[in-house]
Structure 1
């Protein structure tokens, strides 16, 4: 009877964590959808758009672009980290309270790494507008640049760095048992460590947004599904990873031709 109650309590805890992260994910996707609707419906004089020249960017432009990328990171990566968060909670149920990983600190550390990546791509977008490679609506102007992004992203799928990061993300139990430390500091460091591997696994796929349209919510969903598939589809991970890589390379070559 006690065992049944314990299992029931653990199941409820896992569901609550998944529900909370799911609600945050839905909110992020809804915000992105509303922003895309506003871009497509508002008059040009009432719409914020990134300036085309690098010298014309103000702190407000950097802030709005960075906030946009942060929401994109949350929408696309919170579903990816949810199984890891549930796994941490499941492992901690069998530990003493002073030996448990702080789950909130883990998530903050994970998000902090993606915030850092968001700053990098914000600066990259600033340069893309400076070179006139993106329209004010943040769509690609150049099939050559788009093709290059797709080909580079596809080639990265076959590199040892991608394989190492993906292996880490597909086998989190050993990582948790090896690197998990109790308390807030332990959770923060674990989140940073896991986030570093996650960025290493997914950065090239994120750059595909520059080729398909930075604010294209449909393609955000497709990329998110691709990331989830290469991590969580049962069986050899090489097949999904290589299929994505070949598809990106073929798509990039088609744009060039």
Structure 2
């Protein structure tokens, strides 16, 4: 076992690397939010706007749109998921010396590679739904209510014993011996995180992947549930808040529809 001083040095290196990655990701995400805000979305039946992230702009191509979305997703994920990863790093700080700094970076490569692939898989689904919204007015009218239902369902799932079990099973994933095993361990953690916070990712996609307030709320919910994994009451409180928010979105959508008719 490494003495205390080297362990602290390794943890300091990891903390600096994570802080720099978070700062860079947050900065790039903020700049993208500003550029997307300058581009007005497409007004849709039902009183909402379809983000320009899903469909080609005038003169654009599907390939360019997909590349833009994946680039945006890749730059956003470190800022969103590092707060979820940080508690695991903190709990395992005494064992970090079992990995060199480079192997911990390979952990991160495997972890964020999964999230990058998730963005690549999500884009065709989101683009297909956006195309349906453009072509079928009845689907576009129902979109705000559907978003509220997704937010409400995420809150219900948050209060289940299944979700509590997933949060409790966040444990050591950093013990590795070479680059290949470090990448595999990072991939395994990312898959675990994806299943654990899938309800919040669904909320992000349903409410607008480039919505600044929605992204901040989802990021906060993910960070809170990881930090408070041992405090079931706080985790459930987040779920209750999500159910209430979903109900408000549904009521707001119904009232807007009634006023327009």
* TM-score (norm: length of structure 1): 0.77
Output the CA distance in 2 between the equivalents of 1:233 and 1:244: 10
Contact 1:101 1:186 in 2 (8 A): no
Match of 1:60 among 50, 57, 64: 64
The residue correspondences of 1:14-33 to structure 2 (distance < 5 A) are 14-33=11-30
Deviation of 1:34 (Å): 0.8
Match of 1:129 in 2: 130
1:83-114 superposed Cα distances (whole Å, 9 cap, x missing partner) = 43465563142x598xx993222212211221
SS of the residue corresponding to residue 182 of structure 1 reads: coil
Match of 1:246 in 2: 240
SS of the residue corresponding to residue 197 of structure 2 reads: helix
Match of 2:158 in 1: 157
Match of 1:78 in 2: 82
Deviation of 1:13 (Å): 2.5
Aligned length: 233
List alignment gaps of at least 5 residues for structure 2: 42-51, 135-140, 252-261
Contact 1:162 1:200 in 2 (8 A): no
Deviation of 1:76 (Å): 0.3
Contact 1:117 1:199 in 2 (8 A): no
Match of 1:221 in 2: 216
- CA, structure 1 residues 67+167, in 2 after alignment: closer, same or farther (shift >3 Å)? same
Aligned CA RMSD, in angstroms, stands at 3.2
Deviates more, 1:100-109 or 1:184-193: 100-109
- CA, structure 1 residues 155+52, in 2 after alignment: closer, same or farther (shift >3 Å)? farther
Contact 2:99 2:176 in 1 (8 A): no
SS of the residue corresponding to residue 215 of structure 1 reads: coil
* TM-score (norm: length of structure 2): 0.76
Deviation of 1:49 (Å): 4.8
1:174-223 superposed Cα distances (whole Å, 9 cap, x missing partner) = x66xxx44212221221121111111111110221234332123332222
- CA, structure 1 residues 131+12, in 2 after alignment: closer, same or farther (shift >3 Å)? same
